[in-house]
Amino acid sequence: MQAEILKAIQTISNPFLDYFFIAVTMLGSSGFYFIFIPLFYWCVDKRFGLKLGLILISSIYVNTVLKEITKIARPIGYPGIRSIFTQSAGGYSFPSGHAQGSTTVWGTLMVHYQKKWLWYVGIAIVLLVSFSRMYLGVHWPIDIIGGILIAVLIIILSELIDSIVKESNFNISLSFKVILSILIPALFILIFPHKDIYEYMGLISGTLIGYFMDKEKFDFTVHAPLQKQILKLLIGIIVFFVLKEGLKFVLPSGNIFNAIRYAICGLWLSLGAPYVFNLFKLNDKTIKT
């Protein structure tokens, strides 16, 4: 049944749609999120940018665990199904990481801003990204449905947790926050020590440490004229990717060092980049003395 659905979808295949859906599927890739979420953190709303990143990484964690538990093979190589752009299809099939990730991000945005136009845009992107995975022949329909439903549950739970955090008035020292920012991601690694988990928990750890240090030291603000916002984004993203790829040649290989590499990238996102923006007056607030 699922194979027949994919075959039916692929009856519309042509070179133009191939390129179109490859482009669409990139909207659900990690590369897109590495640009999109820092945009919010640096230029729109710092706290919401952090929240969006944490919810997405939590969703990725759940997705990785479920893939490794279910171990369902992808449709790649199935008779009669054409699979292209398979470099976007790592690991097992269920649930779809692209469908789950796009639903998590755009669903969180829709719930947060409550704008009608954003609901239209968000739903359209989720449906297009999800459809692209079937058109490209890298996911079964059940993977798409599962990914979307899991993302909805994660959004509901995350909003509940966030409302509790907002209403609570925790008075915790910076040093204790830093310790928790290391220990909690480390615990999630111990629970499920997959190589991808090392990377994303490292990213969470570094980002949280930087966020708490920023709040304590100079409390970066996002406000700036449009030209400076563009410059902030360019500087921040370029350095992020230089660190992400360049540190591979500096640090030894292995999961622990991958976690450290991503932690450094996280520190740049939430502390290094804001410090540079403040230093060169790319936002409307200067560093406290």
Instruction: Indicate the residue type of 205.
Output: S
The pLDDT > 90 percentage for the chain reads 87
The two three-digit tokens of residue 257, written as one number: 């060092």
User: Could you write out the DSSP letters of every residue in 63-113?
Assistant: HHHHHHHH-PPPSTT-TT-----GGG--S--SS-HHHHHHHHHHHHHHHHH
Q: pTM here? A: 0.92
The alpha carbon torsion through 101, 106, 107, 110 (nearest 10 deg) reads: 170
What gap in Å lies between CA 94 and CA 77, rounded to an integer? 16
Domain spans, the chain: 1-169, 171-288
Mean pLDDT of the 254-258 span: 96
Nearest to 207 by CA among 61, 46, 32: 46
- Predicted confidence (pLDDT) per residue in 130-167, tens digit: 999 999 999 999 999 999 999 999 999 999 998 887 77
The answer to whether residue 209 scores a pLDDT higher than 70 is yes
Nearest to 119 by CA among 138, 102, 106: 106
The two three-digit tokens of residue 122, written as one number: 């968000």
- Predicted confidence (pLDDT) per residue in 107-130, tens digit: 999 999 999 999 999 999 999 999
- Which pLDDT value is given to residue 285? 62
Nearest to 75 by CA among 9, 125, 124, 12: 9
Nearest to 262 by CA among 89, 49, 53, 104: 53
Q: How far is CA 155 from CA 17, 106, 229, 245, 281, in A?
A: 31, 10, 29, 31, 36
What gap in Å lies between CA 286 and CA 289, rounded to an integer? 9
Residue spans of alpha helices (H) in the chain: 2-9, 15-25, 30-43, 46-70, 97-113, 116-135, 141-167, 174-191, 195-217, 226-246, 255-267, 273-279
- Predicted confidence (pLDDT) per residue in 189-201, tens digit: 999 999 999 999 9
Q: How confident is the model at residue 288 (pLDDT cuts 50, 70, 90)?
A: very low
**Lowest mean pLDDT: which of 100-109, 122-131, 214-223, 231-240?**
214-223
